Amino acid sequence: MTAKEYGIFLPIGNGGWMLSTTAPHPQATYAWNKRAALHAETIGLDFIMSMAKWRGFGGSTDHWGRSLESMTMMAALAEATSRVKIWATLHANVHNPAIAAKMFATLQDISGGRAGMNIVNGSYAGEFEQFGEWDPQLSHADRYEMTELWTEAVTRLWTEDSVTMRTPYFDLVDCYSRPHPDIRPTIINAGRSQEARRFQATYADGAFLAAESLDEMRQLSADVHQRAKAGGRVCKTYSMLTVVQDDTDELAAKKVKEWGAGLDREALTHMRRTWGVPEDQARAWAEGAGGEAAFQTPYVAGSARTVTEHIEYIVREADLDGLMLIFPEYDEDMLLFGETVLPALRERDEVAA
């Protein structure tokens, strides 16, 4: 058994990961994200990751209405840190592969070999329609075909002196990209569809998965692991979890209730609409949603012991290689986690090994 990996999803968009007027509200500033990155380094987390977001969801919280650009911010954080892995996000439907290859070769140099490329291929039309980078004719399967060709182009540009590729989505003609990175950047992808899992097993080093139940997560994780192994590769699997920690389970549950009471239903409606849900259905769902809908991911609430046991259980039972953690507050919350929970998780890893 290898040690599990734990990292954080940085609050690159205002509001972080809580759709609530009563929850902590991280700001989309470099100062805020730098503090979170340095906390991650201090307490011993393994990686930091940021999303790429081009349009928010409005509402009374203006959720993600303000966001930083992932590559620029992560390059700065690579200089500010020395140990954690630096995982930035690019949209394959926005960035030409030659531009992406050069950007990540640069980030790999800055970070001393810690760079990771989280590849996404665009799923929310409104983000890209605003600047003319959305092709409504492309199906989900088409977008993954494009992403496979795009990734092939990037990885070839990292190793070959000249690359020529003609595809339905982009062309490279005697394309140069030097210097090549000494170590290939880690490749990450998030998704759960058949196309996503095939892509992850074939090209990625890490897969972020979401599921409706622990059983489903176990099945998805096993599928990615098995597909990668069949191809002679290793692809680690991760999921996301929000941590609400306090001295007691009761105090943590009180936070959940307070934050849920401020659920931003308008922002939730807009978020559902970006998923393709019709306006009336999205609004009806948001109006009827419970306070837990303020959390954008599964969460655990409780004391250090409760949080530790929950994380250890889901990582073991779902056969995950790690978790990307979200902290509503990111300052005191992360430090408390680092003092109480993370050492216990590391100790359990050592015992299991």
pLDDT digit string (tens) for 115-134?
Answer: 999 999 877 888 888 888 88
d(CA 348, CA 1): 11
pLDDT at residue 181, as a whole number: 98
Burial 38-70 (b: 16+ CB within 10 A, else e): bbbbebebbbbbbbbbbbbbbbebebbbebbeb
Q: Is residue 118 part of a domain?
A: yes
More confident of the two residues 196 and 136:
196
Residue % of the chain over a pLDDT of 70: 100
d(CA 245, CA 242): 10
- Nearest C-alpha neighbor of 220 from the set 240, 188, 191: 191
Asked if residue 26 has pLDDT above 60, the reply is: yes
Rounded to an integer, the average pLDDT of 284-302 is: 95
Q: Is residue 306 part of a domain?
A: yes
d(CA 254, CA 110): 43
pLDDT at residue 351, as a whole number: 85
Q: Is residue 289 part of a domain?
A: no
Torsion of Cα atoms, 240 then 241 then 242 then 247, to 10° = -150
Asked if residue 1 has pLDDT above 60, the reply is: no
Burial 174-211 (b: 16+ CB within 10 A, else e): ebebeeebeebbbbbbbbbeebbbbbbbebbbbbbbeb
pLDDT bucket at 60, cuts 50 / 70 / 90: very high
pLDDT at residue 122, as a whole number: 76
Mean pLDDT of the chain, nearest integer: 95
- Residue 132: which residues within 8 A CB-CB, separation 6 or more? none
pLDDT at residue 160, as a whole number: 98
Domain span at residue 178 reads 5-250+297-352
CB 17 within 8 A of CB 11: yes
The domain tally of the chain equals: 1
**Other residues' Cβ atoms within 10 Å of the Cβ of residue 255:** 19
Q: Is residue 343 part of a domain?
A: yes
pLDDT at residue 142, as a whole number: 93
d(CA 127, CA 274): 9
pLDDT at residue 129, as a whole number: 87
Q: Is residue 339 part of a domain?
A: yes
d(CA 275, CA 209): 17
d(CA 251, CA 259): 13
Phi-psi region of 112 (alpha: psi -120 to 50; beta: other; left: phi over 0): left
Q: Is residue 141 part of a domain?
A: yes
Biggest CA-to-CA distance, the chain = 63
Q: Cα 212 vs. chain centroid, distance in angstroms?
A: 18
Asked if residue 238 has pLDDT above 90, the reply is: yes
Asked if residue 2 has pLDDT above 80, the reply is: no
The enclosing domain of 34 has a CATH number of 3.20.20.30
Alpha helices in 3-114 (DSSP H): 30-43, 70-80, 97-111
pTM metric for this prediction: 0.95
Q: Is residue 324 part of a domain?
A: yes
d(CA 166, CA 236): 31
- Residue 272: which residues within 8 A CB-CB, separation 6 or more? 281, 282, 285, 286
Q: Is residue 117 part of a domain?
A: yes
Rounded to an integer, the average pLDDT of 300-321 is: 97
